[in-house]
Structure 1
Amino acid sequence: MRVTQSMLTNNMLRNLSSSYQSLGKYMDQLSTGKKINRPSDDPVVAMKGMDYRTQVNQVEQFKRNIGEVHNWMDNSDSALEKVQKGLERLRELAVQGANGTYEEGQRGNIASEVEQIKEHMLELANTKVNNKFIFSGAETTGNAGDPPYELNDDGTFVNPINNDDVRIEVSSGTKIRVNVEPDSIFNEELFTDLTEFAETLRDGTDDEAIGEFIERIDTHIDNNVNARADLGARQNRIDLIENRVEEQLVTAKDMMSKNEDADLEQVIMNLTSQEAVHRAALSGGARIIQPTLLDFLR
């Protein structure tokens, strides 16, 4: 085959164009820190990158969900701790009220404190976190915007209380209950007992009748302790899940990085090598192109 000057020139220009493309690719990798900058650069890396990015986004959402779980459970435990203190104080008052040495006026003072504690219990039952009632089951906005716990004069509820579970997904396929079952703590029996306790203190001098409330209060104390124990067990579980999610996030980000992040040291070496090749090609091309008559006329 006869090699002509035009063939040499065209091949040289084509190879120079390819060399420029390689320089451009390495410059893009160096500037962005990524192996590819468009799917066409490497469809396999691009597809894997989409999968890894989806996984990272999913795990990050689980981390945010776990944060919401901690917020809900921590506030629930704090409220139940205050309930515990209130119940223990009520028991002390029941023991004092059953003491035959107390006069009617003194028992009336005890009754006033019992009523204040009942109001405090009502406030705890209507605890809101992030504008949600945490002791109202799945009806977290209350009853048409009103607090879920409202009492009649006899201590009964104005509206029925929702006892449905509130569950939040904390890992793939795992949803954990974050709320305390309202009926186990803030039940109608609790507020009815407190109402009757105050009335008994005000109206009677029957030590035995007053003493009966000690056992009733002990029942509510046991319910509260059991609820806190159940909540604590779920808090321990969410801590274990959180550790696993943290490990999954680190692994997912590492896989995504290995898939799409460029090895900058290798990129710099490739760029330097390609630059040397390109300069050599330009130097060789200048010698291949033969002088023309115009070159001699200048």
Structure 2
Amino acid sequence: MRVTQGMMTNHVLRNISNGYSKVSEYNDQLSSGKKITRPSQDPVVATMGISYRTDVSHVNQYQKNVTNAYKWLDSSDDALGQVNDVLNRIRELTNEASTDTYTADQRKAIGTEVDQLTNQLVTLGNTQVGGQYIFSGSDSAKPLLTANSDGSIKIDQTAIDHPDFSVAVNDGIQMAINVNPNQVFTSDLFANLNQLKTDLNNGASGNTISAHLTEIDTHLGEVGTAQADLGAKTNRIDLIQNRLNEQKTVATKIMSNNEDADYAETIINLNTQQNVYNASLSVGAKIIQTSLVDFLR
């Protein structure tokens, strides 16, 4: 096959252009830190990168959910601690009022304090985190407890029927992060306290008042059980958080291996390609310089 000057020139120009493209590609890798800047450069890397980024995005969202879960659990534990303090105070007052040395007026004074402590329990039962009521089960937009004009306490029925507030903490894992509203702030609790106030205000005997101690102890036991349940949930959240941290580390590493450029290798490739490009320019300068004058000589 006859090789013409035009063929040689076209080949040289094509190779120079390809070499320059390679130089530009390695420069892009160094400046961006990525193997590719367009999906067309390597569709496989681009496709796998989408999958890996999705994995990392999922883990990030689960970590946010776990952070929110910690807020609920910590706030619930703090509120239950205060409920425990309030009930212990009510028990102390009840025990004092059950002695025959207390007069009717003194018992009425204790009844007034018990009434205030009951109101404090309502306040604690309506504790909020981020505008959500943490003891209202799935109905977190509404308060769990409402004080009626006659002094009775109304409990939100939706919270009773749907007591769990769950969040996604990992793929396929939904976890209830709240205290069951049927466990602590029960109708029995407020009915017993209301009866205690009535007995204190109506001058009931010491034996009648002391009978309430057993009821209060039962409610204190319910609070203790709820606190133990919260502790178990917190321990599980700790394990889930550790697992998510490990998943994020692995997913980020895989994504980095897939997308990130190896700086040392890229610099070597850039220097090599730069030398090839310079050589092609030198060769091209010798070949393409032939002109019509050269043929007429």
- Same fold, judged at TM 0.5 (above): yes
Aligned to 1:194: 193
Question: In structure 1, the residue corresponding to 2:154 is in which secondary structure?
Answer: coil
Task: State the match for 1:226 in structure 2.
Answer: 225
- Structure 2: which 5+ residue stretches go unaligned? none
Any gaps of 5 or more consecutive residues in structure 1?
A: none
Tell me the secondary structure at the aligned position of residue 83 of structure 1.
helix
- The residue type equivalent to 2:226 in the other structure is A
**Is the 1:149–1:161 contact (alpha carbons within 8 Å) kept by the matching residues of 2?**
no
Verify the 8 A CA contact 2:86 2:117 in the aligned structure 1: yes
Q: Give the SS at the match of 2:145.
A: coil
Counterpart Cα distance in 1 of 2:83 and 2:46: 55
Query: Could you say if the C-alpha distance between residues 159 and 23 of structure 1 is closer, same or farther in structure 2, counting changes exceeding 3 Å?
Result: closer
| Equivalent in the alignment of 1:235 | 234
> Cα gap change, 1:4/1:160 in structure 2, threshold over 3 Å: closer, same or farther?
closer
Please name the residue that 2:152 is paired with: 155
1:51 partnered with 2:51 = yes
Name the Cα RMSD after superposition.
Answer: 1.6
Does the Cα contact within 8 Å between 1:148 and 1:161 map onto a contact in 2? no
| 1:184-240, Cα deviation, whole Å (9 max, x unpaired) | 111111111111111211211400000011001001000000011111101101100
What secondary structure, in the 3-state scheme, does the structure 1 residue paired with 2:40 have? helix
Tell me the distance in 2 between the aligned counterparts of 1:33 and 1:194: 68
Contact 2:147 2:154 in 1 (8 A): yes
State how far apart, in whole Å, the 2-side matches of 1:29 and 1:66 are. Answer: 36
Deviations 1:248-295 (A, max 9, x none): 001000000000000011111111111111111111111112443569
Distance 1:290 1:111, change over 3 A: closer
Which amino acid is 2:234 matched to? Q
The equivalent residue for 1:98 is 98
Work out the percentage of aligned pairs sharing the same amino acid.
43
Distance in 1, Cα, partners of 2:63 & 2:219: 35
Cα distance per residue 1:32-62 (max 9 Å; x no partner): 1111111111111111101100000001000
Q: Which residue is 1:10 aligned to?
A: 10
TM-score by length of 2: 0.94
* Amino acid in the other structure paired with 2:228: A
- 1:171 is aligned to 2:170: yes
2:75 match: secondary structure = helix
Runs of 4+ in 1 over 6 A off after TM superposition: none
Partner residue, 1:181? 180
Contact 2:136/2:156 (<8 A) preserved: no
1:101 is paired with a residue of what secondary structure? coil
Task: Return the alpha-carbon distance in structure 1 between the equivalents of residues 249 and 243 of structure 2.
Answer: 10
How far did residue 159 of structure 1 move? 4.9
Matches within 5 A, 1:1-298: 1-142=1-142, 147-152=143-148, 153=150, 155-157=152-154, 159-160=156-157, 162-163=159-160, 164=162, 165-292=164-291
Q: 1:160 to 1:8 in 2, by over 3 A?
A: closer
- Secondary structure at 1:182's aligned position in 2? coil
How far apart, in 2, do the equivalents of 1:243 and 1:290 lie? Answer: 68
